[in-house]
Structure 1
């Protein structure tokens, strides 16, 4: 019997199915990671450098883009290393660290979107109170809350996983995932399932809060042309991002729990990692294209940079 105290490494068995198209997959992975770094990094720099964007809504957006870099950094470098090597192994500590970062990344996305829903509710439904309610200090506190609570909850999950005795070391996925580790347990994992269910309910509650907020937002926005214009400009991107993240996470959860043997392995692999591909790319593009202020600031920074190079 093997337990958590003596297990030193896991093998990622699903990587064995990627050897045939390794060159193509490596090229696509490098391209995808580069695009994520570029689009998220560009908008983070734009928001930081432009004083006009130092407002609550853009602080939350910057937090969302930083979270994309945080989560994908736990997957892509290791995945690329595995594609270029013949041994698909990750240390026990490294595996749990990857679980912590990837899970907290996904959970933080929902928390940030919930905070952004509150910000938009105050801005549109209580516009006269917005400046006094949503101060920069409160925005920073909410941004910290959206990051620290998910990290705390996932730390509890990892601590519980550390106590599990394992009878195997083969994870049937492209990266470390807590459910895949728990399936290797020698004993009952009922307590872990209960805690996991409670955490899922917590984030389901956040999704319900966002939905209720937007029902109120739509009702308020319909009362005036200006309110509807503000809703379409600042809230529609938020809804698209929520849909993007939710669908991505549902794919991963459904695959992890109910993956069908009739689905090809390539499709399963994509379903398992698409929440690390689609939201980090689409979210900044959606906001960058839709929000006029960000788009103008980014273009102004690019124009100023070209002018500086021209003078040089």
Structure 2
């Protein structure tokens, strides 16, 4: 704690051999960050530019990819600074801000994946009612809810944390996530109960809803051969993204809460995987598996190759 400025600082202890490999870490993570920004922004711009992609499914994909850019921007700049710094630390207020943004955007991803599952359910199981149900106002309401509801839920726990006294000033990780709870002098029962409420609301309910909708979709696709190809084309990418994100999120949430004596290298690898995999592979999955997006990408790369040859 800095008594002169009355600012509390938190140190990160999760870095592995950062003094030895600082420049390697920096180059690798900076390259990954640039790839995340360029790939996600490319897909989003394609969806915005081409009118045949102005449909709910593609709008939700664009929202998910925008989330990936925001999520990465919350994490990567601080990580890159830490790799080049002699000491890795952050003010407690900035740590709470990063924790809020981290949880808010991750939870928003689950809500968006739930909305995308519902969109596919209506499209495949009730195609005649699709245009009536998925109107522009409905899409806007879904998007608004996916961003505002998680923000409201997590703002409460952040305010509770800000008012809770801390006795520890050292985090075992490399960023501010659920490990912030280990800094508190006393584990608040209110925060514990509210944390369970958020866990059920943000993670379990959307996950069960997604599984239910895809089970219904599979039943319909099994009965009608004509929709099997359409189901595979539009639903498989969503399932790949969901499985990838759910597994990494489960590790990230449960590991610090279980307080296991996990080796530092394991914590480091799991955290790095979480901040790399979803933001980087989401645009790749949608770019390769969604036919319309893939067609526009091929045209874009073909045009770019011709420009470079001239």
Task: Name the TM-score, length of structure 1 as normaliser.
Answer: 0.92
- Matched residues in 2 for 1:219 and 1:48: separation? 33
**Segment of structure 1 superposing worse, 135-144 or 278-287:** 135-144
Q: In 2 relative to 1, CA 185–264 (structure 1 residues): closer, same or farther, beyond 3 Å?
A: closer
Aligned residue runs from structure 1 range 32-47, under 5 A = 32-47=32-47
Pick closer, same or farther for the CA change 1:264–1:186 going to 2, 3 Å. Answer: closer
Q: How many residues align?
A: 308
Question: Cα RMSD over matched residues?
Answer: 2.2
Change (3 A) 1:194 1:157: same
**Partner residue of 1:211?**
211
Aligned position for 1:141: 141
Conserved 8 A contact 2:9-2:89:
yes
Give the conservation status (yes or no) of the 8 Å contact 1:241–1:283.
yes
Q: How does the TM-score come out when normalised to structure 2?
A: 0.93
Instruction: Verify: 1:293 aligned to 2:296, yes or no.
Output: no
1:104 match: 104
Partner of 2:196: 197
Question: Match of 2:20?
Answer: 20
Range moving further from structure 2, 140-149 or 60-69: 140-149
Shift of 1:6: 4.9
State the Cα distance separating 1:161 from its structure 2 match. 0.8
Task: Show CA shifts across 1:73-112 (max 9, x none).
Answer: 1111000001111121212221111111111111111100
Moved over 3 A (4+): 258-261, 301-311
Q: Distance in 2 between matches of 1:199 and 1:14?
A: 26
Whether the 8 Å CA contact 1:9–1:90 is kept in 2: the answer is yes
The equivalent of 1:129 in structure 2 is 129
Deviation at residue 307 of structure 1 after TM alignment: 5.9
CA contact (8 A) 2:47 2:62 kept: yes
Offset of 1:256 from its aligned partner? Answer: 1.3
2:242 alignment partner in structure 1: 242
Q: CA separation in 1, counterparts of 2:171 and 2:105? A: 21
Q: Show the 5 A alignment for 1:17-96.
A: 17-96=17-96
Q: Which runs of 5+ in 2 are unaligned?
A: none
The alpha-carbon deviation at position 180 of structure 1 amounts to 2.3
Once residues 304 and 155 of structure 1 are traced to their aligned partners in structure 2, the CA distance between those partners, rounded to angstroms, is 46
